[in-house]
Amino acid sequence: MPTVLIRNARLAESGPDDAQTLLDLVKGLALYEHEPDAVKATVADLRRHGTGERPRFEAIIAELDGKPAGFALFFHNYSTWTGRPGIYLEDLFVHEWARGHGLGRRLMARLARIAQDRDCGRLDLWVLHWNKTRAFYHRLGLAHMKEWLPYRADRAGIDRLAADDVAEN
């Protein structure tokens, strides 16, 4: 019986941490999503944004027999309608060699426990339309929100829009 461990990712400026492990897992996800060259993040980026007084994200890592096998990276959002914080799951990934051992479900269960403990009203995520794991999310009780459409401004769009900001007198 394989040993499964779900633990918080450790990020630190010095000493042992999981920044390289997280980056490797992110690259594994990018490969799975047919975008192997899309990852621009670095170990330094993950350390910088995942530590400090107000980290921009948190992550949990799944280990199978002591080897990093998957992760969930998330951050808080806020719902004005529920009046509660929520959790947005940015990435969930389990290496192909580790699938079938319940790691994805265990990562999601841990994330749900974190949401409970933090009095969150929602757990949000996006799933690619072609992703075979959509059925996995349905089995977990997550619902596809057909009436909401995703929109995004990339860095160039942010820069164009920010140029319209006029300083207040």
| Model confidence pLDDT, tens digit, residues 99-137 | 999 999 999 999 999 999 999 999 999 998 888 888 888
Q: What pLDDT score does 80 carry?
A: 96
Percent of the chain beyond pLDDT 70? Answer: 98
* 8 A C-beta contact, residue 69 and residue 92: no
Catalytic residues: 137
CATH topology for the 4-143 domain: Aminopeptidase (3.40.630)
Q: Distance between CA 20 and CA 79 in Å, rounded?
A: 33
Tens digits of residue pLDDT in 49-71: 999 999 999 999 999 999 999 99
Would you state the pLDDT for residue 169? 56
Give, for 107, the enclosing helix (H) or strand (E): helix 103-117
- Give the global pTM: 0.91
**Is residue 82 very low, low, confident or very high in pLDDT (cuts 50, 70, 90)?**
very high
Q: What is the DSSP letter of 15?
A: S
**Is pLDDT larger for residue 154 or for residue 83?**
83
